[in-house]
Amino acid sequence: MSDELNKEKYKMEILKLVREYCNKYHKKSNYEKGQRIPYAARVYDEEEMVNLVDSSLEFWLTAGRYTAQFENEFSKFLDIKYCSLVNSGSSANLIAFMTLTSPLLGNRAVKKGDEIITVAAGFPTTVAPIIQFGSVPVFIDVTIPQYNIDVTMLEKALSDRTKAVMVAHTLGNPFDLSSVKDFCNKNNLWLIEDNCDALGAKYTLNGDQKFTGTIGDIGTSSFYPPHHMTMGEGGAVYTNNPLLNKIIRSLRDWGRDCVCPPGMDNYCNHRFDKQYGELPLGYDHKYVYSHFGYNLKATDMQAAIGCAQLKKLTAFIEKRRTNFKELREKLLEVEDKLILPIPCKNSAPSWFGFLITCKKGVDRNKLVQYIENKGVQTRMLFAGNLIKHPCFDEMRATGNGYRIVESLTNTDKIMRDSFWIGVYPEMTNDMINYMADAIKEAVNNQL
């Protein structure tokens, strides 16, 4: 038997054992009433583990064939031209924003001191790249119960320094893309959709239904374990714009000018015959840098898990929608005490969680502690109001570095009165019933 055949035989034996191991030792037991119900969990089977071990046996480690497969299949899923896999959703947001600072964009490039419209009610890494670069976040309030950017405030946020809008679809509920897109088009602004919590959500714009993340100039996703799909750590940046894609790839890969895939030389057939900057004629193109970039690539082992997860993604999204619908129906009887979430108009959300705001007379902290003690895991809406956090202490003290449009009344209310629970795909009807009963019991009898 040849070495190649022998090698393939060993690999098949190993993967067969991996499949058996996963089925024996990674199968979750059935839920029993009273067990802790997490807000999220990894949902996987033997396919993810087989792919992971298959990739590890190749020992390529960095981006390779699984990465190329994932980027291609993810692009097809979203119906978008270009996708770049990165090592986290936060890195995806970093690259998305820094792409807009590229000198290749001419007078549309974001400069230090330029303003970016966003919200304070969300996850910090939507805003962090703006501040880290030296641009100015302009914070707009959000609406309740959609928990997304208040589009009626956009014109008031506009100044002669405004260059972009960068905002997230909160917990899978799309923001008003029609209004935001029209505003950006009218004022020649970039739009970054932080889609990390909304993968699979759809929005109908001018009669055409599209996935969120594909309507703006750049979209981002996260594949951290609680999200719609996972590869452990991981994220993606995607666009239909070829110039933006070129910049994204450069920033992800050290800032280099070369577009050769990892392990490949002279992909463009001009490796040694071009002039770049003040370098010598013919300087090796693999070591020419057109941006101050990073190394934010994911490993091929992460991508291998993602390829298996992607096959399940549609089913995951539908189960999240079903769980959300059932949970909302069961909580309608306490709607006089709690504000329940509603979808944005013209949207089909891909729910990441079920967000609840306590009405007057209901103490959020007491409610949360009660249901946590009953085994129901909760989360705040991330930062609540980001500018209240210690990372803003210096900026608050000086009054420099950010701008608020009028007030953040709803943002502060969310910080004080809101929390969310999970709707992840492995949740059973018994788990949903238990969570709903715990919440109803708390507001009816304990508060």
Asked whether residue 32 is domain-assigned, the answer is no
Is 80 exceeded by the pLDDT of residue 18?
A: yes
Asked whether residue 34 is domain-assigned, the answer is no
Domain that holds residue 89: 53-302
Query: How far are the Cα atoms of 138, 165, 315, 404, 411 from residue 115, in angstroms, in the given order?
Result: 6, 9, 40, 11, 20
pLDDT score recorded for residue 447? 54
- As beta bridge partners, residue 118 has 139
Asked whether residue 35 is domain-assigned, the answer is no
Which of 221, 277, 189, 183 lies closest to 88, judged by CA?
221
Please check whether residues 70 and 208 belong to one and the same domain.
yes
Q: Are 136 and 401 in contact (CB under 8 A)?
A: yes
DSSP strand pairing (235-239 vs 82-86): antiparallel
Please check whether residues 314 and 253 belong to one and the same domain.
no
Prediction pTM value: 0.96
Is 60 exceeded by the pLDDT of residue 103?
A: yes
Tally of structural domains, the chain: 2
pLDDT score recorded for residue 267? 80
Please check whether residues 212 and 336 belong to one and the same domain.
no
Mean pLDDT for 35-57 is: 96
Asked whether residue 362 is domain-assigned, the answer is yes
Please check whether residues 261 and 177 belong to one and the same domain.
yes
Which of 154, 88, 58, 40 lies closest to 298, judged by CA?
88
* Helix-helix angle 300-331:429-441, to 10 degrees: 50
pLDDT score recorded for residue 197? 98
Is 60 exceeded by the pLDDT of residue 3?
A: yes
Compute φ and ψ for 301, nearest 5 degrees.
-65, -40
Distance, CA of 438 to CA of 427 (rounded, Å): 16
Last-in-domain residue among 276, 302, 328: 302
Distance, CA of 266 to CA of 139 (rounded, Å): 46
Mean pLDDT for 223-251 is: 97
Is 80 exceeded by the pLDDT of residue 148?
A: yes
Q: What is the DSSP string of 9-26?
A: HHHHHHHHHHHHHHHHHS
Is 90 exceeded by the pLDDT of residue 270?
A: no
pLDDT score recorded for residue 446? 63
| Average model confidence (pLDDT) across the chain | 96
Last-in-domain residue among 272, 302, 332: 302
Distance, CA of 104 to CA of 67 (rounded, Å): 27
Supply the residues annotated as catalytic: 227
Segment (H or E) for 202: strand 202-205
Last-in-domain residue among 302, 325, 351: 302
Mean pLDDT for 71-87 is: 98
Please check whether residues 374 and 421 belong to one and the same domain.
yes
What separation, in Å, do the N-terminal and C-terminal C-alpha atoms of the chain show?
A: 74
Please check whether residues 176 and 248 belong to one and the same domain.
yes
Please check whether residues 377 and 282 belong to one and the same domain.
no
Q: Are 238 and 82 in contact (CB under 8 A)?
A: yes
Distance, CA of 251 to CA of 249 (rounded, Å): 6
Share of the chain above pLDDT 90, in %: 91
Sign of the Cα pseudo-torsion (166, 168, 169, 172, in order): positive
Asked whether residue 183 is domain-assigned, the answer is yes
Please check whether residues 148 and 169 belong to one and the same domain.
yes
- For residue 405, give the CATH number of its domain: 3.90.1150.10
Please check whether residues 426 and 394 belong to one and the same domain.
yes
Which of 223, 296, 312, 264 lies closest to 65, judged by CA?
264
Task: Provide the 10 A C-beta neighbour count for residue 261.
Answer: 14
Instruction: Read off the pLDDT band of 260 (50, 70, 90).
Output: confident
**Those residues with Cβ within 8 angstroms of residue 271's Cβ, 6 or more apart along the chain or in another chain:** 258, 265, 284, 285, 286
Asked whether residue 1 is domain-assigned, the answer is no
Mean pLDDT for 152-160 is: 98
Give me 172's structure tokens: 């899978």
Mean pLDDT for 367-373 is: 97
Lowest mean pLDDT among 92-96, 283-287, 356-360, 408-412: 283-287
Give me 399's structure tokens: 């009054």
Asked whether residue 22 is domain-assigned, the answer is no
Residue 344, Ramachandran bin (φ over 0: left; ψ between -120 and 50: alpha; else beta): beta
pLDDT score recorded for residue 315? 98
pLDDT score recorded for residue 330? 98
**CA geometry: angle 57, 62, 65, nearest 5 deg:** 70
Please check whether residues 318 and 298 belong to one and the same domain.
no
Instruction: Read off the pLDDT band of 2 (50, 70, 90).
Output: confident
Please check whether residues 219 and 346 belong to one and the same domain.
no
- For residue 252, give the CATH number of its domain: 3.40.640.10
Please check whether residues 145 and 240 belong to one and the same domain.
yes
Give me 329's structure tokens: 């129906």
State how far Cα 316 lies from the chain centre. Answer: 16
Asked whether residue 365 is domain-assigned, the answer is yes
